[in-house]
Amino acid sequence: MRLHRNLVFAVIDSIRDIFNEGVYADKAVEQALRRDKRWGARDRKFVAETIYEIVRWKRLYAEIANVKAPYARPDLWRMFAVWCVLKGIQLPDWNQIEPTPTRRIKGKFDELSKIRKFREAIPDWIDEVGLQELGEKAWTKEIAALNKQADVILRTNTLNISKDKLQKILSSEGIETEFVKGHDDALKLVERANVFKTQAFKKGYFEVQDASSQLVAPYLDVRPGMKVVDTCAGAGGKTLHLASLMENKGQIIAMDIYESKLKKLKVRARRNGVHNIDTKVIDSTKVIKKLHGKVDRVLIDAPCSGLGVIRRNPDSKWKLEPEFLDRIRTTQQEVLQQYSKMVKTGGKLVYATCSVLPSENQQQVDFFLASDAGKDFSFVKDNKVLASESGFDGFYMALLERK
């Protein structure tokens, strides 16, 4: 591979913004790809994937390069040189690239690869939490799986098209896909591509949604005509899936504390041809109290550490802090206690997270069921999805029923 100066400079500038300025990786990549409209698909792929690679392996590369945060520009070039050596890419004769001891880099890599926190490039505290909660064998497998690049998975919008027809239409637009076993509406891209430019996307034939995430809405056991609340809807990936499963019939109330996210959901709903969604900003307890005992199904896609989805958000490893994990566990229980009151007798609730930690998952459900608010509920089933077993994101979902 021959390195092009303008592409590499875009990478260096982006990782500087991510590491030193706290810019989110997806935003940095988006900004980088706007630098030069003349870049082709291969150039754009190089820039995006190289940024994500260096972000994903930051701790390992920084240790090998012997540099520490905040990173000066020469430090970033040293990390880039480490990436090149480990990828087998010949280093160009540029002023920014210092003489690079290739043998020492490879030797250091072999040495550090024996230590999990360096091999998997994670902070000490995350390694300790994972080890404590999952055990040595399971955590070692899981964190290795969570460091692999995520596949691009589409969810067919069955309101508008069948999965078979969508596959054929995408193929006609030059995008090849495969079915995903055990996921009724999912298609996996054979090669990464910008699917948002396709006519199929513009016509609302699909949404991008990981296969594990696609398991959550069906777990709620919805039917057309029901009254359903998605309590932490965000931009509405699971809300739209619920609408599809309900055949656009009944009522879905999508709630969130952020109005900006619900505005994005409205845009997506229009594109999807969905018209049974009402949005409500949670700006007081009144929003919840008005629905006490009146809802057939409640989805609590709870705020969490996001440790199950670090494959697609590798910079979250460096932004996450132990204090946040403690706070979010408290929030999860508060949400369960309050939002569960909307479920009517005989109704059902799903508690879900995109975390692999038992303390955010089954332990939260157990604590809720043992509480006063949970005494009216019975546990039906749960699903612990590990990336190391599924090949997709780590997720958890539990189905509870009000007696």
Could you report the per-residue pLDDT of 93-106, keeping only the tens digit for each? 999 998 889 999 99
Q: What is the mean pLDDT of residues 125-145?
A: 98
Task: Catalytic residue, from 84, 232, 304, 354: name it.
Answer: 354
CB 394 within 8 A of CB 138: no
Beta bridge partners of 301: 352
pLDDT of 349 strictly over 90? yes
pLDDT of residue 400: 98
Please report which helix (H) or strand (E) contains residue 42, including its range: helix 41-56
Instruction: Kindly state the percentage of the chain with pLDDT values over 90.
Output: 97
Give per-residue pLDDT as tens, 372-381. Answer: 999 999 999 9
Q: What is the mean pLDDT of residues 298-306?
A: 97
Instruction: Kindly state the percentage of the chain with pLDDT values over 70.
Output: 100
pLDDT of residue 233: 96
Q: How confident is the model at residue 113 (pLDDT cuts 50, 70, 90)?
A: very high
- Residue keyed to tokens 């999508």: 254
pLDDT of residue 251: 98
pLDDT of residue 100: 86
Taking alpha carbons only, the member of 317, 321, 358, 344 closest to residue 402 is 344
Beta bridge partners of 353: 396
Q: What is the mean pLDDT of residues 217-229?
A: 98
pLDDT of 1 strictly over 90? no
Q: What is the mean pLDDT of residues 57-65?
A: 98
Give per-residue pLDDT as tens, 258-281. Answer: 999 999 999 999 999 999 999 999
Q: With 0-12 CB in 10 A as exposed, 13-18 as middle and 19+ as buried, what is 249?
A: exposed
Ligand-binding site membership of 256 (annotated): yes
Angle subtended at Cα 321 by Cα 143 and Cα 328, rounded to the nearest 5 degrees: 95
Ligand-binding site membership of 301 (annotated): yes
Phi, psi values for residue 27, rounded to 5°? -70, -40
Q: How confident is the model at residue 353 (pLDDT cuts 50, 70, 90)?
A: very high
Give per-residue pLDDT as tens, 115-133. Answer: 999 999 999 999 999 999 9
pTM: 0.95
Q: How confident is the model at residue 296 (pLDDT cuts 50, 70, 90)?
A: very high
Q: What's the CA gap between 269 and 383, in Å, rounded?
A: 28
Q: What is the mean pLDDT of residues 15-20?
A: 97
Length of the chain (residues): 403
Taking alpha carbons only, the member of 368, 398, 399, 365 closest to residue 384 is 398
pLDDT of 226 strictly over 90? yes
Q: Residue 259: how many CB atoms within 10 A of its CB?
A: 12
Give per-residue pLDDT as tens, 173-204. Answer: 999 999 999 999 999 999 999 999 999 999 99
Q: What is the mean pLDDT of residues 156-178?
A: 97
- What's the mean per-residue pLDDT of the chain? 96
Beta bridge partners of 278: 253
Reply yes or no on whether 304 is catalytic: no
